[in-house]
Chains A and B, each alone.
Chain A
Amino acid sequence: MAIARQTHAQQKQDATAARLEALGPISDTGWTAAARASALDRVVQSGLPHARDEYWKFTRPEALTAPEPSEAALFAAEETPIFQKIDRVRLVFVDGVFDADASDAPDLAGVRIERLAKAAEADIHWAKSLYGTLEANGQAPVSRPLAALNTAFADDGVLIHVTGKADRPVSIAYERRDGTADAMLHHVIKLDPGADFTLLENGPAAARFNKVMEVDIADGAAFHHVRAQGRDHERQAATHIFARLGQESVFKSFTLTANGRLTRNDCVIDLTGDDAVAHVAGACVGDGDFHHDDTVFVTHDAVNCESRQVFKKVLRNGATGVFQGKILVREGAQKTDGYQISQSLLLDGDSQFLAKPELEIYADDVACSHGSTSGAIDEEALFYLRSRGVPEDRATDLLTLAFLAEAVQEIEDEALAGEILTRLEAWLERRRA
């Protein structure tokens, strides 16, 4: 046993060393230098994820930790456009590299938008107190070494400081044109008290993508996030959101994922101010060689906060869906209202859904509930639809959409919810064709 353990530790150490060697030295200039150095220490300390790690039992991390990404063929089919009807400030990254020509000028009242690559040259910056800080806070009690790796090495990303109510969302489009690009982006978003801001994200990003987003939401501020990960099948991605919520603040995040050989989305939320609200939701559709993992960790560390996790996955042809969700209620976090639901719709017997719902509660006056279900299509409903003339595949799609709708409904803005539904419908329709 002792020998086996040493072997895993050794494997982990070797894999970490190989990855770090391939990446080379970290940048040691500018205001991010200290954060990068300590993040690198965290990576070395914990090592990169290994299949034996507690939160990597259902998702094999090798492809995400290997020195080089495996080649990912470009997605040939046409992608349904998204967010085009939304008036927004659009920023474009291609294979992780900022595309100034394709991007809008970052002019938005009440919002300051900069690129990490540009800002990092300065000696002092507002983002200094945040860059790598929320990520570091999110390393306990569960280490998230891919996020620390990102803090240490990401050389670009977007820094957004919101001082008021933004009248338009910012959208970041991640395009992919290269079969082997290995991209890392690190975004920092700071909302001042009472600020209101919506961030949209879409696209496959890169053959291998590692993204971290740190969001600091001050008292009374509201942050909305809607993301559509591309239909691009071969890409692999590990993303982290670290959010810290002040008093009476709001955080709402929704992610749509369709296909992608490997997607791991971590969301780490810290409710630090009283009366804050955090909702995180996801809808995913997986077909075939598809692996999708949502790992959510919500910590209640203040009084009378509400958290809600709603995840729905539709799986077919051997696809795998994973949900690991935790609600941690710390001592003193009374009147906590925590809710978590994860459900899968398995369209055949080859697909699987693996769920690990967890509640850990150290306060005595709380209401927390969680549930997880896995089921096939409702045969009664299917027959009812068919008996009215709806063909079987179309009827299955209607029921599939209905199943996912509960997660999509978590999006507050109707126009944005409509964009997501339109894309979902288009996907389903194309699959039938």
Chain B
Amino acid sequence: MLTIKNLHVKLEDEDKQILKGVDLTVEAGKVHAIMGPNGSGKSTLSYVLSGREGYEVTDGSAELEGLDLLDMDPEERAAAGLFLAFQYPVEIPGVGNMTFLRTALNAQRKARGEDEMSAADFLKFIREKAKTLKIDADMLKRPVNVGFSGGEKKRNEILQMAVLQPRMCILDETDSGLDVDAMKLVSDGVNALRDAGRGFLVITHYQRLLDHIRPDVVHIMAGGRIVKTGGPELALEVEKNGYADLMAESA
């Protein structure tokens, strides 16, 4: 599904190398987790994959089902099936949440040569998706993320994921700012989307999110590289001993 090879990335405006050779393959149907201390490059990896400006790829490649992601505009990546759930979802005053979702869905369908969804069909579709995430009509009407609580913003990200049905989902610290109940709701939303054709890359600091979203593979990232890869037990090890031990081990 997602194949990253020897990815080197620096900041565009500064001579600062952030990713120093990331190798990672996420297979369809699998959930991979990336853990790592602050500043290890986890969020940068998610931004570079989704096409945010401000980064320069100096070496390596990233492909989504054989398509060169790094050569595509952000909207093309989205239409190809990539989705990033933002750590800090952006507030967009004046753009209604519903309008936003419908515009995004239809833009993707159009880009893929599919028919656009009618307003009536969309309304039915969105109501059903919103219900399972406990998103009420008011949240759908309000401007995108404006005045939403931290939990509401994250639920709104998962709603977008449910509506757009991407093939490769990247979750960037989706657990940050969530209380226990919200974490359960968000995790349930993610788990409902797990299927054989979809890959997940879950970026997190903490193991607790992984209690809810059970990963198949866990990677530890440090200093801009994946330093260790293992099964779910690796997350527990981090929780117990911290990153310092692991990093010392791999150094």
A residues engaging B (CB < 8 A)? 378-381, 383-392, 394-395, 398-399, 401-403, 405-406
Partner of A388, one of B52, B94, B143, B164: B164
Whether B63 is near chain A, meaning CB under 8 Å from some CB there, is no
A401 with B78, Cβ < 8 A, contacts A385-B104, A388-B164 known = no
Partner of A389, one of B92, B94, B95, B111: B111
**A383 B104 Cβ-Cβ under 8 A:** no
Chain B residues whose C-beta falls within 8 Å of the C-beta of A380 in the assembled complex: 90
- Minimal beta-carbon separation of B119 from chain A (angstroms): 14
A384 with B86, Cβ < 8 A, contacts A401-B94, A406-B94 known = yes
**A391 B95 Cβ-Cβ under 8 A:** no
**A383 B52 Cβ-Cβ under 8 A:** yes
Chain A residues whose C-beta falls within 8 Å of the C-beta of B104 in the assembled complex: 385, 388-390
A386, A389, A394, A399, most chain B CB atoms within 10 A: A389
Among residues of A, the one whose C-beta sits closest to the C-beta of B81 is A389
**B50 A394 Cβ-Cβ under 8 A:** no
**How far, in whole Å, are A60 and B83 apart by their CA atoms in the complex?**
51
**How far, in whole Å, are A395 and B73 apart by their CA atoms in the complex?**
13
16 residue pairs from A and B, CB less than 8 Å apart: A380-B90, A383-B52, A385-B92, A388-B83, A388-B104, A389-B104, A389-B107, A390-B103, A390-B104, A391-B73, A392-B73, A394-B103, A399-B92, A399-B94, A402-B93, A406-B94
Q: Which 8 A-B pairs have the closest CB atoms?
A: A402-B94, A389-B78, A389-B108, A388-B104, A386-B74, A384-B90, A405-B94, A386-B75
Chain B residues whose C-beta falls within 8 Å of the C-beta of A379 in the assembled complex: 53
B residues engaging A (CB < 8 A)? 50-53, 73-75, 77-79, 83-84, 86, 89-95, 99-100, 103-105, 107-108, 111, 143, 160, 164
Interface of A is mostly: helix
- Minimal beta-carbon separation of A35 from chain B (angstroms): 45
Partner of B74, one of A383, A401, A406: A383
Chain B residues whose C-beta falls within 8 Å of the C-beta of A406 in the assembled complex: 94
**B73 A386 Cβ-Cβ under 8 A:** yes
**A384 B92 Cβ-Cβ under 8 A:** yes
**How far, in whole Å, are A395 and B144 apart by their CA atoms in the complex?**
13
Chain A residues whose C-beta falls within 8 Å of the C-beta of B111 in the assembled complex: 389, 391
**How far, in whole Å, are A390 and B106 apart by their CA atoms in the complex?**
9
**A384 B89 Cβ-Cβ under 8 A:** yes
**How far, in whole Å, are A386 and B90 apart by their CA atoms in the complex?**
12
Chain A residues whose C-beta falls within 8 Å of the C-beta of B95 in the assembled complex: 398-399, 401-402
Among residues of A, the one whose C-beta sits closest to the C-beta of B88 is A380
- Minimal beta-carbon separation of B212 from chain A (angstroms): 24
- Minimal beta-carbon separation of B3 from chain A (angstroms): 20
Chain B residues whose C-beta falls within 8 Å of the C-beta of A399 in the assembled complex: 92, 94-95
A391 with B94, Cβ < 8 A, contacts A384-B86, A385-B100 known = no
**How far, in whole Å, are A395 and B105 apart by their CA atoms in the complex?**
13
**How far, in whole Å, are A394 and B100 apart by their CA atoms in the complex?**
11
